[in-house]
Structure 1
Amino acid sequence: MKLRLLLSTAILPLTFAVAAQAADVAPSAVVEPAGDGVIGRVVNAEGAPLPGAEIVERGTGRRVVSNTQGEFILTGVSGQVELDVRYIGLPSTSQTVMATPGRLTSVTVTMGGGDVTTVADVVVTGVITDGIARSLNQQKNADGTINVLSSDAIGRYPDPNVAESLQRVPGIAIQRDQGEGRYINVRGAPSAFTAVSVDGVTVPAVDPGTRAVDLDTLPSDIVSNIEVSKTLLPSQDADSIAGAVNIKTRSPFDTRRLAVSGYAGGSYNDYGGNDTRAGATVSNVFGASQTFGALLSLSYSETNRRPENIENAWVEGGSSYVIEETLFKQYETQRTRQALTGALEWRPSDQTRLYARGSYADFEDDEYRNTLILGYGDGALQAGATDTTATYTGARIYRGLRHRTQNNEITTLVLGGEHSFDNGMVWDADLSWANSEQTYPHRDELVYRSTSTTLGYDTSNHYAPTYFYGPNSPIFGETATGFFATPGNFSFRENTFRSNTTQQEDVAFRTNLEIPSQFAGREVAWKFGLKYATREVDADEERQRNRAGAASPGALASMWGDEQGRNFGYNLGTQYDKGLVDAYLAAAKAASPRRMPDSLTADYTAQEDILAGYGQARFDIGATNITVGLRVEQTKFDGSALSVVDFDENDPATVTPVNVSRDDTEFFPNLTVRHAFSDNLIGRVALTRSISRPEFSQIVPRRVENTDGINVEYEIGNPDLQPTLSNNFDAGLEYYFASLGVVSANVFYKDLSDYRYVLNYEVERPVGSDTATDSYSTPINAPDGHLMGLELNWQQKFGFLPGWMSGFGVFANFTVTDAEIKTAQSYGGRDTFALPGQSDTNYNAALFYEKGGFSARLSYTKRSDYLEEINADDAGLDLYVEGREQLDFTASYDFGNGFEVFGEAKNLTDSAGIKYFGTRQRTYEYEKFGYNAFVGVRFKY
């Protein structure tokens, strides 16, 4: 139905644009239209567009800024018009235009040519400095607070995906999976507080447990630029408390000629495996007047890793904290990313454009995991346990091999058009479709379990500099000797199978109308818009398990291979043979019974419809630019899950659909002020309001049960969960150097209401002579909270230095935040908590050099510890992620004929990923990924 809707209405922008071009007559307006004007482009000497250029009409002081393709419209001027054009990194220029009354007059302004009057101290030369100039100009001349990453800047870092590229932006930290960036935290806020779009199309999350988008699915080499809006305007969706990220792909009109570029290379990782990456882009414009354009971009990467991992599950054991389970995980993973972007554009005149843009990204993670589990908790804790030592009798050892394949797909398609009328009015509309899908075709595992034995541990050296290495490593149970190494001590325990698919499909229609006018003796740009978006979510999961003795593949030794396990220096013994286990599991799946009701309670469907409208006015008072407006969003939500009571396969009445339906309307007032104290000193203040809606899996009325022996884990939805709202204050001061640089300071405060968090707690119940411990996880709202901080940024090229030293430059930013939430009830005497996902400090520093054809950059990033999960029963079991640092290096040489060689070195600090409970002495997870060295070649025509 949505696809038919998309196709049937795709003609709307085309119909309107053609009609507008034929008549070019605007309807009557309630305000007096401006009438005359200039429409044009700003380009450099090579014809490349210059985004963020400032165009000022000398007589009236009217000011406009070029868009990402260097285009602009200046209304309300006619006759002889003197344009002054400024662009950081190029000499300023002036151009006279004879503007015809009653219509828009076209002009192209070229900067950096030989006939300009030089007033700047630096001229952009080189890829790094060109990327800096593009970013700084767009940032300086924007109405709100934004940061921009150009494709040139992204390409100078060893960042294979969009998440890792964004870690270089002031105030942004990333969350990693096996060493690779996945989610982003903007200004210390949770990842779900940031909306992501591609070419303006909202991207649904692939992970059903969050609204945060897995940015490791999107490779960085498909990007033209990335814009991070840290303050929103009324014309932007309100669902971005922390910020909005818009990823823009390339356009054939970026170059307006046949252009071919690409790269290829390979790498080595010291934790195993070789990587390959390659990409290519081709574009051209066609027709006698070059009014048609087409672009195609391809990207492929394959990453092989063998990270080492150890995890400890801690519980309170009387007067101390003890480990009830230790897991050694030895991974062998292959991750592939494939991406395709394309664009078709038609520009029959400077005033009309039609376009179709699409993107497809596929991420596959194929993973084998040999697991050794020391099940202390299966036995009895002996007296004398301390916070670092314990002994259990009757414990068991588990040995398993899991083969899991995860596939993420993100697809976007947008059809749209824009027309500029001769009286200066601008109308645009687009229809978009986005689809995100996460599939686990299989998560299959074979497990053997030992007979009872005595196990102990000693973590006295839990955090020594030689952590998990050498003689000072912690001692966990037995290594591959004695009882551990005897296959006869193990017998078949179970095989398990899980598969699931979650699909989110979003269709949206959006239209905007901008009207330049005279109002109360002042020039005012009015803008109005509507947007309707509907999203459908479908989650389906299947689980199977077989513990019958007849399902056993035989003795443990019959499934072993030749490889010996080594994890942080521990001898983990002989590992499973992947081929033997895969063949066994493939044959055993059909005979493994479906786990019920688990396979039903995890399923759900949801639909969310959002109708939004806004109005805003932008006007100038001298050097002050003011935008004021209001956005209204109505959200209608319907969800359904299955309730299972005393499940009986033969009695359908034990399975009952449970539905939830909600309707909510919120108002989002906005005041954004930009003031130019001088050409170089810019101040900004914004008062805004924004929203973060609940995760779909949390709001549907479901109750997922996972049983393990007599213990049960419950994941419970909350249909009464409210969206988080935030009233925001932002203020900043930026000083731009003529020598291509900026120093800035921004403060922000977010007053949060109904912040949602996941509450984890346990309940004991008697089971015969034993006691079961049931775990509960449910999302609830905290009534109050805040997030505030200071963001400092300095970047500059030292072009004023003499000789070869003029090639040096620096990037540095530092963000400090403070945040907390106050809960409605007290947990263990606490009702105030840190904001999950918030690091107190986050900073980046980079030193670069660019001279002649050579460029190099040494970059360092670090974030401090942050809270990940709150434990309602015990503060000592709150889960934290330890802050992580990383040092990267890139270098390249451009031969000047379109070819360039480059090299990258990533994670030179060999930093680990660490999580802990309450204090660093209680390590939950320790994982290392190793460094990566990559070499390749780029070409451009």
Structure 2
Amino acid sequence: MKMNLLMGAAIAPMILAPLAMPAHADVDAVASASTAVAGDVIYGRVTNAAGAPLPGAEVLVRGTSQRAVTNTQGEFTLLTASGAMVLEVNYLGLPSASQTVVTTPGEDANVAIVLGAQSATDVADVIVTGVITDGVARSLNQQKNADGTVNVLSADAIGRYPDPNVAESLQRVQGIAIQRDQGEGRYINVRGAPAAFTAVSVDGVQVPAVDPGTRAVDLDTLPSDIVANIEVSKTLLPSQEADSIAGAVNIKTRSPFDRRRLAISGYAGGSYNDYGGEDVRAGATASNVFANETFGALLSVSYSETNRRPDNVENAWVKEEQNGADVFVLEETLFKDYETKRTRQALTGALEWRPSDDVRAYLRGSFAQFEDDEYRNTLGLIYSDGTLQPGATNTTATYTGARITRQLRHRTQKNDITTLVAGGEKTFANGAVWDASLSWADSEQSYPNRNELLYRSGGTTLSYNTGDHYMPTYSVFSDPAGFYRDPSRFSFRENAFRENTTKQEDVAFKANFELPSQLGGRDVTWKFGAKFNTREINADEQRYRNRAAAASPGTLASMLSDRPSRNYDYDLGFKFDAGKADDYFARVRAASPIRLPDSIAADYSAQEDILAGYAQARFDIGATNVIVGLRVENTKFDGEAAALIDNDGSAPYQMAKVSRDDTEFFPNLTVRHAFSDNLIGRFALTRSISRPEFSEIVPRRIEETDGSDISYEIGNPDLQPALSNNIDLGLEYYFASLGVVSANAFYKDLTDYRYTLKYSEPVTIDGTVYDADFETPINAPEGHLAGLELNLQRKFDFLPGLLSGFGVFANYTWTDAEIKTAQSYGGRDTFSLPGQSDTNYNAALFYEMAGFSARLSYTKRGDYLEEINADDADLDLYVEGREQLDFTASYDFGNGVEVFGEAKNLTDSAGVRYYGVKERTYEYEKFGYNVFLGVRFKL
């Protein structure tokens, strides 16, 4: 950890000097300033003594209402009258300072403000900072001086946690919980809302989802080490897109003007995974400025490989009548033995041109790829193929004539996210700012391999006891040399092949114009803008199946290896030979029968065009900053999917189409009031939208199979977007040394919330009756989401000696939500909000002193509803709350080299889903702990 000696205000609070490089605030920084009508423009930059930019610093002109906030490069812009003025600079963690500046009429001025000179004469005025506290300072200053309710994660703060992707980094923010896949964070739930209620952008470019079934972005595709900072806007301004009921996440990548010299940094390391093999991660960033510091270039790369072998057991439950009463029994149990290799690679780049103070242009791009190559050996106990015997209870049952299956699935999933944006901005002599950008974003998800080979036994007797619902007993394992271990009892059942490719492409143009003026003797900053974006999505699925005896690869024994397969304490026999299976898949895939009709009906294409415009005014009333405005968005949607005329595919199909045109208005009032320099109050009245998933609107039908379980997803072209009227109220107190205590309350009045109902009764599709589960999305006319966020961050610098290195992070979120449906289901018309946990909290204790830093962090979210079962509340599907304990430590040698270690999931917490009550466990999955060691360097 490098130590900076930061001077107090009485010694050398700041140094002002002409800038050799152009310094210019971005649009956000300019928008936060209340400016004079005419005068000279001051372009400034605030850095610390080491030359690092200080984002979120507040710059005031004494005796006026003029105020600016520095952007992520520490830059600000002020329009002032000519002559002498006093600039005051406030930054949490550093002493406040002031300096007289004299401007010449008709000439712009450049100033460099350095907080914390490195010569000290009074030890009492010295503040020692480190990596953790520097990251906290950057985040808190940006949050404190933002117009709306914003949470910020800096790169320094992200690097202090063992979080390999953006989703896991965001779980540390108050009000944010994550949904996991095999132990890794994938989606985020902001303030208890569904993941699709949060829009995600990279450098201001909205990212299309990779999954064809949702608008939620798979954040496990984006590695955390490409990030400069992450901004989570929980209240929106008129200048922001309205499609974020819960909040908007903007991931900012690094800029060559962050350090303004040749800068090279990187890291590398490896780990041990308790439930898998070795993992590796590495990344590097290089940047420089050229041509008298008017041109900058940056390149960043990242790579990681993770091996996962989680233990997983799934149980499917149904109700059966026994002696006139209903009992819950299993219809199948699946023991899934995974061998998974996950790789992430990312590339970001930036070219920036700043020929003068008032002009800048940029080209930024990013590419991220996530690949999940998975072999899954499954032993299935298919009770539903047999006959339930009398005497069954809610925990025990016996079936005769049941079957056992052995299955291998080789699935390769690839997610690609690419963004590219070119833009520029111009500041005029009167302080007006114009900016524009043209962006392109592309997301693609493909499954080049989704191959399955299934063997099935004849009838046998199976029983179970789920008294210990996490570790049930099954009769099949009572004899280690028994039925399931004899390959001769199994015969070829089928092979199945699936290919999926979904591609979303988004092109957008936006422009903003900001104009300072006076109205009624008060300084008012007007801002106007427009945006047009068009998004195309194409989802294509190829599905094949062959049950002919000629398609068999041979006996089960010929396809098995000598590698044992285990799940928890269950001995599953021997694994399939992956090489033999892949050879078989390659050989027979080309000879598979004609494409199944169900996969034709799963294809769809759509185009969504959104034209938006807004106007807002920003003005100050004393210590109160007010933004009022209106945003209007028009959405045009066209989609189509294949509609089968005859379900067996013998007749041709026709295209079913849907077209929609909708205009919505989004009024906005955002108020920030400074009760004192450190006590900030916030209030916002906003309106926002969440458009339906593309797959939900198009009139399509898709079949999903998992072993013998078949279900259908059916689209609803009449589905309406969800709208929310929002009230936010917050109070934040910032400690002058470094820290914050805050409380933020919110209420969202939901209209047309969309939810998915799961039916377990026969359904007629295209004239054919299916005795299978099916899901379809429906609008709920009423709903609400309310909650309270509490947050505490504090460094214990008031303690003596070594104890002053301790500090704490803690946050707690409580939410309450429900939806009211238009009709009753099983006697119910009121439901919990899917994805909403009542409680969610984080706690971390950190220590930083003399180059050493360490953090012990704990996170926990409560149970939440995942699926509503329209037939039976006892079969609603829930996800059990999960806790996790992590530890990180590092030592900085002071020469640019740092060693670090991470220990993740020390609690060995499981992922659990259940039906109705925890005793009816649907899925029990464990991932183990992970220990990572590495080295970082900076040149």
Query: Where do residues 332-351 of structure 1 align in structure 2 (5 Å cutoff)?
Result: 332-351=339-358
Q: CA RMSD in A?
A: 2.0
Name the CA distance, whole Å, in 2 between partners of 1:930 and 1:705.
33
Alignment of 1:261-300 (within 5 A): 261-287=265-291, 289-300=292-303
Alignment-derived partner of residue 835 in structure 1: 833
**Does the 8 Å contact 1:120/1:738 carry over to 2?**
no
Is 1:619–2:622 an aligned residue pair?
no
Q: What's 2:388 paired with?
A: 381
Q: Which residue of 1 aligns with 2:146?
A: 142
Write the distance in 1 (CA, Å) between the matches of 2:126 and 2:699. Answer: 61
Corresponding pairs, count: 899
Letter aligned with residue 72 of structure 1: F
Aligned-pair CA distance for 1:543:
0.4
CA distance in structure 1 between the aligned counterparts of 2:902 and 2:119, rounded to whole angstroms: 40
SS of 1:138 mapped into structure 2:
helix
Q: CA deviation at 1:704?
A: 2.3
Q: 1:34: how far off?
A: 2.9
**Separation in 2, partners of 1:585, 1:350:** 62
- 1:897 corresponds to which residue? 895
Greater CA drift, 218-227 or 696-705: 696-705
Answer yes or no: is the 8 Å Cα contact 2:546–2:592 preserved in 1.
yes
Does 2:51 align with 1:51? Answer: no
| Residue equivalent to 1:773 | 771
Q: Which 4+ stretches in 1 moved above 4 angstroms? A: 114-122, 647-651, 706-712
The equivalent of 2:498 in structure 1 is 498
Q: Deviations over 1:94-134 (max 9, x none)?
A: 12222233443221111112589999987351110100000
The one-letter code sitting in structure 2 at the alignment partner of 1:682 is I
For the structure 1 residues 397 and 497, does the alpha-carbon distance in structure 2 shift closer, same or farther, using more than 3 Å as the test?
same
Change (3 A) 1:70 1:124: farther
CA distance in 2, matches of 1:806, 1:779: 55
Structure 1, residues 145-190: CA drift from partner, whole Å, max 9, x if none? 0000000000000000000000000110000000000000001110
CA contact (8 A) 1:90 1:120 kept: no
> For the structure 1 residues 822 and 723, does the alpha-carbon distance in structure 2 shift closer, same or farther, using more than 3 Å as the test?
same
Secondary structure of residue in 2 paired with 1:587: helix
Select the residue among 927, 930, 934 that pairs with 2:928.
Answer: 930
- Match of 2:919, SS? coil
1:59-138 equivalence runs, <5 A: 59-113=63-117, 123=127, 125-138=129-142
Aligned position for 1:689: 687
CA displacement at 1:709 relative to structure 2: 11
Query: Could you say which residue in structure 1 is the equivalent of 2:219?
Result: 215
Structure 1 counterpart of 2:853, which letter? S
Residue correspondence of structure 1 range 791-810 to structure 2 within 5 A: 791-810=789-808
Q: Kindly indicate whether residue 246 of structure 2 is the aligned counterpart of residue 248 of structure 1.
A: no
Equivalent residues in 2 for 1:542-581 (5 A)? 542-581=542-581
The alpha carbon displacement at 1:588 in A equals: 1.3
| 1:275 aligned counterpart, secondary structure | strand
Whole-Å Cα distance in 2 between the matches of residues 350 and 619 of structure 1? Answer: 26
- Structure 1 letter corresponding to 2:696: Q
Q: In the TM superposition, what is the alpha-carbon distance from 1:705 to its structure 2 partner? A: 3.9
1:460 matches 2:467: yes
Alpha-carbon shift at residue 648 of structure 1 (Å): 6.5
Amino acid at match of 1:245: V
Match of 2:332 among 325, 347, 353: 325
Answer yes or no: is 1:370 the counterpart of 2:368: no
> Structure 2 matches for 1:726-875, cutoff 5 A?
726-764=724-762, 773-875=771-873
For 1:71 and 1:697, the matched residues in 2 are separated by: 43
Classify the secondary structure of the residue corresponding to 1:169: coil
Aligned AA for 2:623?
Answer: A
Matched letter for residue 242 of structure 1 = A
* Equivalent residue number for residue 19 of structure 2: none
Q: Distance in 1 between matches of 2:365 and 2:390?
A: 64
| Superposed displacement of residue 727, structure 1 | 0.3
Of 405, 423, 426 in structure 2, the residue corresponding to residue 416 of structure 1 is 423
Distance 1:711 1:55, change over 3 A: closer
Tell me the distance in 1 between the aligned counterparts of 2:412 and 2:708. Answer: 30
Whichever residue aligns with residue 307 of structure 1, its letter is P
Q: Do the aligned partners of 2:732 and 2:740 also contact (CA within 8 Å) in 1? A: yes
Secondary structure at the counterpart of residue 752 of structure 2? strand
Partner of 1:312: 315
Give, in whole Å, the separation in 1 of the partners of 2:284 and 2:210. Answer: 26
1:664 is matched with which residue: 656, 662, 665? 662
Whether 1:594 aligns to 2:594 is yes
3-state SS in 2 of match to 1:280: strand
TM-score, scaled relative to structure 2 = 0.94
> Aligned to 2:367, what secondary structure does the other structure show?
strand
| Residue of structure 1 in register with 2:7 after alignment | none
Question: Aligned partner of 1:361: which letter?
Answer: A
SS at match of 2:483: coil
Q: Percent identity?
A: 74
2:168 is matched with 164
- Residue of structure 1 equivalent to 2:643: 643
Secondary structure at the aligned position of 1:91 is classed as coil
Alpha-carbon distance, 1:553 to partner:
1.3
The answer on whether the counterparts of 1:121 and 1:739 sit within 8 Å (CA) in structure 2 is: no
Give the residue type in structure 1 aligned to 2:610: I
Q: CA deviation at 1:585?
A: 1.3
Unaligned runs of 5+ in 1: 1-19, 21-30
Letter in 1 for 2:369: D
**AA partner of residue 299 (structure 1):** S
CA–CA distance in 2 between the matches of 1:773 and 1:708? 16
Question: 1:28 matched to which residue of 2?
Answer: none
CA 516–363 in structure 1, closer or farther in 2 if over 3 Å, else same: same
Offset at 1:683? 0.3
Task: State how far apart, in whole Å, the 1-side matches of 2:40 and 2:763 are.
Answer: 79
Look up the match of 1:720. 718
Determine the C-alpha separation between the residues in 2 that align with 1:797 and 1:933. Answer: 27
Question: Contact between 2:477 and 2:571, CA under 8 Å: does it hold in 1?
Answer: no
SS of the aligned residue for 1:836 comes to coil
Write the letter of the residue equivalent to 1:513.
F
Question: How far apart are residue 71 of structure 1 and its match?
Answer: 1.0
Equivalent pair of 1:542/1:594 in contact (CA under 8 Å):
no
User: Structure 1 pair 706/41, CA: closer, same or farther in 2 (3 Å)?
Assistant: closer
Q: Is the 8 A contact 1:436 1:503 kept in 2?
A: yes
TM-score (norm 1): 0.93
Structure 2: gaps (5+ residues): 1-23, 25-34
- Partner of 1:227, secondary structure, is strand
Provide Cα deviations, 1:603-635, integer angstroms capped at 9, x if missing partner: 000000000000000000000000000000000
Q: How does 1:425-436 map to 2 (within 5 A)?
A: 425-436=432-443
Partner of 1:607: 607
Q: Deviations over 1:332-366 (max 9, x none)?
A: 00000000000000001121110000000000000
Q: Displacement, 1:32?
A: 9.7
Q: Distance in 2 between matches of 1:746 and 1:708?
A: 43
Seen in structure 2, the aligned counterparts of structure 1 residues 89 and 641 have a Cα distance that, compared at 3 Å, is same
Residue 639 of structure 1: SS of its match in structure 2? Answer: strand
1:625 counterpart SS class? strand
Residues 661-702 of structure 1: CA distance to partner in whole angstroms, max 9, x if unpaired?
A: 000000000000000000010000000000000000000011
In structure 2, C-alpha distance between the alignment counterparts of 1:414 and 1:772, rounded to whole Å: 48
Residues 779-829 of structure 1, C-alpha deviations (whole Å, 9 max, x = no match): 000000000011000001111111111100000000000000000000000
Distance in 1 of aligned mates of 2:82 and 2:199: 41
Aligned partner of residue 234 in structure 1, secondary structure = coil
- What are the equivalent positions in structure 2 for 1:19-30 lying under 5 Å apart? none
